[in-house]
Amino acid sequence: MAANENHYTLPLPTFDKPVKLLIVVAPHYRDIADQLIAGAKATAADCGAEVEVIEVPGALEVPTAIAMAERQVKFDGYVALGCIIRGETTHYDTVCNDSSRGLSLLGLQGACIGNGILTVENRGQAEVRAEVAGQNKGGGAAAAALHLIALSRRWAGQTKGIGFRA
């Protein structure tokens, strides 16, 4: 089982300038969402990041909300949170694939996103992954976003050696 594995975790980055994170959560399973949010907020606080939390109806709306914020508001990064538990239909596959694809496309366009949308077979798996004292996937998603923000800031404005010289 992966739960019994030891994984290396990068130390959290440090920042010279303030960081503003938007947490976008689909709270369909409220108790699980609350744990994910708590983990993400705690990790953000460890880096001194300012956090805003918004809720959307479902996991499919998370990428859309992030895209809107990326166009209209100034956030340094985003944390996508939610939980998709397999049901009896193929709707599970659609929601998992399309929400993940939407977040990936936004990331490839330059948005700094940590994906903490759980995709699990049952509630027990979700609870273990969401618990702050457990696998803390909300905290992990916030850490991913913070690492990408640090990388983006590190490379910002570095155009030396690119293109042609006059």
Q: What is the pLDDT of residues 76-123, one digit of tens each?
A: 999 999 999 999 999 999 999 999 999 999 999 999 999 999 999 999
Q: Considering the candidates 7, 28, 91, 147, report the single residue annotated as catalytic.
A: 91
**Other beta carbons less than 10 A from residue 21's beta carbon:** 25
Instruction: Give the pLDDT confidence of 6-33 residue by residue, as tens digits.
Output: 889 999 999 999 999 999 999 999 999 9
Asked whether the beta carbons of 18 and 47 are under 8 A apart, the reply is no
Q: Where are the alpha helices (DSSP H) in the chain?
A: 30-46, 61-72, 91-108, 123-130, 137-155
130: closest CA among 56, 62, 37?
37
> In which band, very low, low, confident or very high, does the pLDDT at 36 lie, cut at 50, 70 and 90?
very high
> In which band, very low, low, confident or very high, does the pLDDT at 158 lie, cut at 50, 70 and 90?
confident
E strands, 91-142, in order? 113-120
Cα 73 to the chain's mean position, in Å? 17
- Cβ burial, residue 152 (10 Å; 0-12/13-18/19+): middle
Please name the fold of domain 18-155: Rossmann fold (3.40.50)
147 is catalytic: no
pTM of the entire predicted model: 0.92
> In which band, very low, low, confident or very high, does the pLDDT at 5 lie, cut at 50, 70 and 90?
confident
